């Protein structure tokens, strides 16, 4: 007698094979063209929080991913404006708040204003295109802006959490902060799915050596060192030149006045506003604000032109606002200068330079501090032939940044501390951020070398969940511990981070004893390493030639 067939009577293995076969027949979202209408649920499956995403998108009907992306950007912009209003309300009652709470809120205010700018720019770009494609530079810029939204919001959160007396403010802003993070993540995910295409890996090796800029007679002597760096050509365009000299022979006696003299919101098409800073120790806190764009600053040399300060966390400054020299304005370039924070290791977080300027470059500069020396906060950055000194997390932040031919010197920390060179702060898998260290020298500073090896030094530790750092084609000295990398707190981020090494040399480069974390990799394929070169990681071939800073765009 024939029996009827029931699925639950099938053996387990054939059932699993049948399920796998059916899954293969069902296209994933990545297989569906972005122009094809899909339900909000299908669109949200590609995001980090599908449930929240579905609550944001229009509930009825089907739209394509381009439409969903545009819609989420509008929602994000409205959210950013609402969050800024909430911060401003707290600051309007600052007399009732502690000093630390006010400083943290002022950071949030600045960062919220930047987020509004970034969202206006992103929305304008995607709404003005009549096609479904953007040019590579446009796509990369918008992905950078949307990545920075999350970085700025996280910086606000970190500052409020560090301000012990700001608990009431933290509670009052906790819901809008959380919603903003989720919404910005959704916007980034949908943008990446709709607009970002896989780029072909490029392998080029280009060195750009530009020519002289036009120099007025009173500035020729000061530019001599800069000319030796830039060689001879007229590739670097300059709109105007001013001189800073403490003896009164220049246009200004301090750097801040020279920055203030620059025109606002230039687009770089007319060239850089060049500030020449003569030898001297400048004890001032310098900010290059968002509206001072395409400034170039050339000093008299490392340890000759020195900008110095000592703001720090112990004395009440937020990490974000402890910087001696802070940059926000797009297109900033600095050469031949030293930037210091002299607070010392006992003062904990004390930033020498904070950089959140897109398309910014530092060439032949020195960054000197202890904990948190160089804050590569956000956007796209490049460092060439620079020296970085520090102890704990002394290259940190969430920019897309490449260091090339730099000296990275670990100093002697406080007793009982270990040195960690990097603490990369990527919070979302969709962010195009990370730290790439290429053809650099990782070594001990004289004070650490004289200590006899009692301090453990690590290449980095994961500050945030998706921390990403690559060390490649570099000389790694024996001061680096055999495990290479240090955990932040227990198992946190060990499976979600991306740490990698490729073709390094030196007595500390042996990867045989490295950590066995799921997120750690020894790169064996050069095509994978190409992802972290100047050409691919920061799209440097599109903007670095204009800076006059020499660079190698591919692998060496």
Q: Are 372 and 393 in contact (CB under 8 A)?
A: yes
Kind of pairing between the strands at 419-424 and 457-460 = parallel
The C-alpha atoms of residue 395 and residue 409 are separated, in whole angstroms, by 11
Angle at 134 between CA 133 and CA 139, to 5 degrees: 130
Q: How many angstroms separate the CA atoms of 155 and 148, rounded?
A: 10
Short-list 381, 388, 394, 407, CA closest to 350: 394
Residues 424/467, Cβ–Cβ less than 8 Å = yes
Strands (E) located in 95-219: none
* C-beta separation of 277 from 299 below 8 A: yes
Cβ-count burial of 282 within 10 angstroms (0-12 exposed, 13-18 middle, 19+ buried)?
buried
CB contact set of 23 (below 8 Å; sequence gap of 6+): none
Instruction: Determine the Cα–Cα distance for residues 165 and 547; give it in Å rounded to an integer.
Output: 44
- Please say whether the beta carbons of 520 and 514 come within 8 A: yes
Catalytic pick among 140, 393, 428, 477: 393
CA dihedral 474, 357, 541, 403 (to 10 degrees): 0
Catalytic (active site) residue 477: no
As annotated, the active-site residues are: 393
């Amino acid at each position: 007698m024939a029996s009827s067939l029931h699925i639950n009577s099938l053996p387990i293995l054939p059932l699993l094979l049948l399920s796998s076969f059916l899954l293969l027949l069902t296209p994933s979202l990545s297989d569906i063209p972005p122009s094809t209408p899909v339900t909000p649920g299908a669109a949200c499956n590609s995001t980090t929080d599908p449930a929240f995403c579905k609550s944001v998108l229009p509930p009825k009907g089907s739209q394509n991913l381009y439409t969903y992306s545009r819609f989420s950007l509008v929602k994000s912009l409205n959210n950013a404006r609402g969050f800024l209003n909430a911060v401003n309300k707290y600051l309007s009652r600052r007399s009732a708040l502690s000093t630390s709470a006010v400083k943290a809120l002022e950071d949030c205010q600045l960062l919220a204003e930047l987020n509004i700018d970034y969202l206006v720019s992103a929305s304008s770009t995607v709404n003005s295109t009549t096609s479904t494609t953007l040019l590579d530079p446009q796509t990369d810029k918008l992905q950078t802006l949307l990545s920075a939204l999350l970085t700025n919001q996280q910086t606000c959160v970190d500052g409020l959490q560090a301000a012990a007396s700001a608990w009431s403010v933290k509670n009052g802003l906790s819901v809008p902060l959380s919603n903003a993070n989720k919404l910005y993540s959704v916007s980034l995910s949908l943008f990446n799915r709709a607009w970002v295409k896989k780029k072909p890996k490029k392998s080029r090796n280009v060195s750009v050596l530009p020519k002289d800029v036009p120099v007025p007679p009173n500035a020729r002597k000061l530019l001599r060192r800069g000319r030796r760096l830039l060689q001879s050509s007229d590739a670097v365009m300059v709109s105007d030149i001013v001189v800073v000299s403490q003896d009164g022979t220049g246009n200004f006696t301090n750097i801040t006045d020279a920055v203030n003299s620059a025109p606002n919101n230039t687009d770089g098409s007319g060239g850089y506003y060049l500030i020449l800073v003569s030898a001297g120790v400048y004890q001032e806190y310098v900010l290059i604000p968002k509206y001072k764009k395409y400034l170039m600053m050339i000093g008299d040399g490392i340890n000759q032109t020195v900008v110095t300060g000592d703001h720090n966390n112990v004395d009440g400054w937020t990490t974000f606002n402890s910087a001696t020299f802070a940059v926000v304005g797009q297109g900033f370039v600095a050469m031949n200068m030293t930037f210091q924070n002299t607070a010392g290791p006992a003062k904990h977080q004390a930033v020498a330079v904070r950089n959140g300027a897109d398309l910014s470059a530092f060439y032949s500069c020195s960054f000197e501090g202890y904990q948190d020396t160089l804050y590569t906060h956000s956007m796209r950055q490049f460092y060439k032939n620079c020296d970085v000194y520090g102890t704990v997390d002394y290259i940190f932040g969430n920019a897309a940044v490449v260091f090339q031919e730099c000296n990275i010197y670990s100093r002697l920390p406080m007793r009982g501390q270990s040195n960690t060179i990097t603490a990369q702060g990527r919070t979302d898998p969709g962010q195009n951020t990370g730290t790439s260290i290429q053809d650099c020298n990782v070594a001990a500073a004289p004070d650490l070398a004289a200590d006899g090896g009692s301090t453990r030094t690590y290449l980095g530790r994961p500050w945030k969940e998706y921390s990403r750092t690559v060390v490649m084609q570099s000389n790694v000295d024996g001061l680096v511990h055999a495990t290479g990398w240090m955990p932040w707190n227990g198992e946190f981020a060990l499976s979600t981070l991306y740490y990698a090494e490729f073709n390094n040399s030196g007595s500390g480069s042996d990867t045989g004893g490295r950590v066995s974390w799921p997120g750690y990799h020894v790169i064996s394929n050069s095509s994978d390493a190409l992802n972290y070169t100047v050409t691919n990681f920061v799209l440097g071939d599109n903007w670095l030639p204009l800076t006059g800073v020499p660079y190698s765009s591919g692998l060496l």
